[in-house]
């Protein structure tokens, strides 16, 4: 039995977005579709299969378990795991033909006891360089020199060498240029040492769309696949949001002036007004920080009133409504539109935090 609250995911939008991005890339550049975090909340398996149909050459996820779920679901494209795995899982990665991220020689030292020396299959790695994001990756020439002997080992295949930008979606490109220069110096280390990675890559969604000259051998497309991208900085491209979120009113009541609703009497009616209850709450990923946001009812904006509860919330209605009337939380109704970008502004965050926060209690329904 389906809940009143449901996320509609358009596979057609994902397919169109990937195809449009693919056409913008310089000839010969590969496209790696990033489907981590359950496909940014859209469904990992469905997103991966759709991206492949649209021309993606490779996939990326954050963790080993995400990659294994894709393999179990029949996905055969090459998959890169962006977060270093536990060294004890090295044979799992090899057996499932997964590419792993390495950031230093210490990982290989800790891995050595767990590798089956009789296995003829190579361990495929991508070396991660930290050029300024400060998250993971090697930073110095000394770290690189210590890593080189491991990368030249007969059991290792260096499929990639990469970095990630910190400010690619910002209008000011000065820090981005510094990161690019740093990465080019590190790339030179690689080539001078005899370690020839099959793919050098540095551009995620924002950088790939804004700066085609940074495409190198491959780009990593995650957020843009799902319609999240810096539209004001990429005005010659239109990508469609792939997810909309719908619910229905389960109860409607008329408040008198001065009546309170919500935990801690968090909302007081300033006048006589209609209020409706919507079956979604913070346990579904609809954060209490969205308390000042709006939803769409009968083509009008309806502000959230009172504290958001675990399973339900209340909205001030544009007028008398009926239980069962549709509520749009993300998407369009009439002439009005509410986007993940708008909702993210209440959190001082990014669009993908909204989609990835939607819990498994909310069913995903797929359209082609």
128 in active site: no
Binding residues: 135, 310
- Residue 331 · residue 245 · CB < 8 Å: yes
Question: Does residue 236 lie in a domain region?
Answer: no
- Tell me which residue of 94, 104, 156, 152 sits closest to 129, measured CA to CA: 104
Residue from 177, 254, 263, 270 carrying the catalytic annotation: 263
pLDDT confidence bin for 2, thresholds 50/70/90: confident
Q: Average model confidence (pLDDT) for the chain?
A: 97
Nearest Cα residue to 224 out of 245, 211, 238: 238
pLDDT of 121 higher than 70: yes
Q: Please give the tally of structural domains in the chain.
A: 2
Regarding whether 210 and 62 lie in a shared domain, the answer is yes
Of 175, 199, 229, which one is at a domain's C-terminal end? 229
Instruction: Please say if the pLDDT value at position 12 is more than 90.
Output: yes
For residues 49 and 183, membership in a common domain is answered with yes
Q: Which residues of 172-201 are buried (b: 16+ CB within 10 A; e: fewer)?
A: ebeebeebbebbeebbebbeebebebebbb
200, 167 contact by CB (below 8 A): no
| pLDDT attached to residue 312 | 98
CA pair distance 91, 123, nearest whole angstrom = 8
How many Cα atoms within 13 Å fall on the side-chain side of residue 186?
29
What number is the average pLDDT over the span 24-50? 97
User: What token pair was written down for 54?
Assistant: 């649209």
DSSP line for 191-249: HHTT---SEEE-B-HHHHHH-GGG-TTEEEESGGGGT-S-GGG-TT------EEEEEE-
- Tens of pLDDT, residue by residue over 293-342, are 999 999 999 999 999 999 999 999 999 999 999 999 999 999 999 999 99
Q: What is the pTM of this model?
A: 0.95
CA distance 35 to 17: 14
CA distance 308 to 324: 20
Provide the 10 A C-beta neighbour count for residue 205: 25
Tell me, what CATH number does 301's domain have?
Answer: 2.40.37.10
Q: What is the mean pLDDT of residues 85-92?
A: 98
Q: Is residue 74 part of a domain?
A: yes
Structure confidence at residue 3 as a pLDDT band (50, 70, 90): confident
Residue 114 lies inside a defined structural domain of this protein: yes
Residue 1, pLDDT above cutoff 80: no
> Does residue 194 sit in the same domain as residue 92?
yes
Question: What spatial distance separates the first Cα and last Cα of the chain, rounded to whole Å?
Answer: 22
Q: What is the pLDDT of residues 70-82, one digit of tens each?
A: 999 999 999 999 9
Rg of the chain over CA atoms, in angstroms?
A: 24
* Contact between 212 and 297 (Cβ < 8 Å): no
Structural domain boundaries enclosing 283: 243-367
Same domain, 45 and 114: yes
Same structural domain for residues 36 and 165? yes
Q: Of 177, 206, 229, which closes a domain? A: 229
Confidence at residue 27, expressed as pLDDT on a 0 to 100 scale: 94
Return the pLDDT at 309: 98
Question: Which residues, in sequence order, are CB contacts of 311 under 8 Å at separation 6+?
Answer: 279, 280, 281, 283, 284
Considering the domain boundaries, does residue 35 fall inside one? yes
Asked if residue 234 is part of any domain, the answer here is: no
Give 90-111 pLDDT, tens digit per residue.
999 999 999 999 999 999 999 9
- CA-nearest of 330, 261, 342 to 296 is 330
Same domain, 284 and 215: no
Q: Say which range, 12-16, 97-101, 138-142, 229-233, has the weakest mean pLDDT.
A: 229-233
**148 pLDDT higher than 70:** yes
C-beta separation of 5 from 246 below 8 A: yes
Are residues 268 and 212 both part of a single domain?
A: no
- Give 199-239 pLDDT, tens digit per residue: 999 999 999 999 999 999 999 999 999 999 999 999 899 99
Where is 296: in which H helix or E strand?
strand 294-297
Please identify which of the residues 36, 124, 187, 307 carries the catalytic annotation: 36
Pair 217, 290 in one domain: no
Residue ranges for the known binding site for substrate are 135, 310
Is residue 40 annotated as part of the catalytic site, yes or no?
no
Read off the tokens for 213: 């000259």
């Amino acid at each position: 039995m389906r809940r009143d609250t449901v996320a509609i995911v358009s596979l057609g939008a994902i397919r169109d977005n990937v195809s449009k991005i693919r056409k913008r890339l310089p000839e010969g550049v590969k496209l790696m579709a990033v489907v981590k975090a359950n496909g940014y909340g859209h469904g990992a398996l469905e997103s991966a299969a759709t991206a492949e149909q649209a021309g993606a050459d490779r996939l990326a996820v954050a963790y080993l378990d995400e990659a294994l779920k894709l393999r179990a679901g029949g996905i055969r494209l090459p998959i890169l795991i962006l977060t270093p795995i536990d060294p004890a899982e090295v044979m799992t990665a090899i057996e499932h033909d997964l590419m792993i991220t390495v950031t230093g020689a210490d990982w290989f030292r800790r891995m050595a006891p767990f590798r089956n020396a009789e296995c003829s299959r190579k361990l495929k790695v991508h070396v991660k360089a930290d050029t300024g994001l400060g998250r993971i990756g090697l930073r110095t020439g000394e770290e690189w020199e210590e890593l080189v002997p491991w990368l030249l080992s007969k059991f290792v295949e260096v499929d990639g060498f990469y970095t990630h930008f910190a400010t690619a979606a910002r209008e000011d490109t000065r820090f981005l240029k510094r990161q690019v220069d740093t990465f080019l110096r590190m790339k030179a280390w690689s080539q001078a040492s005899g370690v020839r990675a099959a793919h050098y890559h540095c551009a995620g969604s924002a950088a790939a769309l804004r700066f085609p000259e940074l495409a190198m051998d491959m780009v990593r497309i995650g957020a843009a696949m799902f319609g999240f991208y810096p539209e004001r900085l990429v005005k010659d491209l239109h990508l469609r949001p792939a997810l909309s979120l719908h619910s229905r009113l389960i109860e409607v009541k008329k408040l008198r002036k001065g009546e309170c609703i919500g935990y801690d009497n968090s909302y007081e009616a300033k006048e006589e007004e209609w209020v409706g209850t919507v079956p979604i709450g913070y346990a579904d990923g609809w954060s209490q920080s969205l308390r000042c946001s709006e939803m769409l009812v009968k083509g009008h904006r309806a502000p959230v009133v009172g504290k958001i509860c675990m399973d339900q919330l209340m909205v001030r209605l544009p007028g008398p409504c009926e239980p069962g009337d549709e509520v749009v939380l993300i998407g369009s109704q009439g002439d009005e539109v509410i986007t993940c970008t708008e909702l993210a502004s209440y959190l001082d965050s990014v669009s993908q935090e909204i989609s990835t926060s939607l819990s498994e209690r909310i069913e995903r329904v797929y359209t082609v």
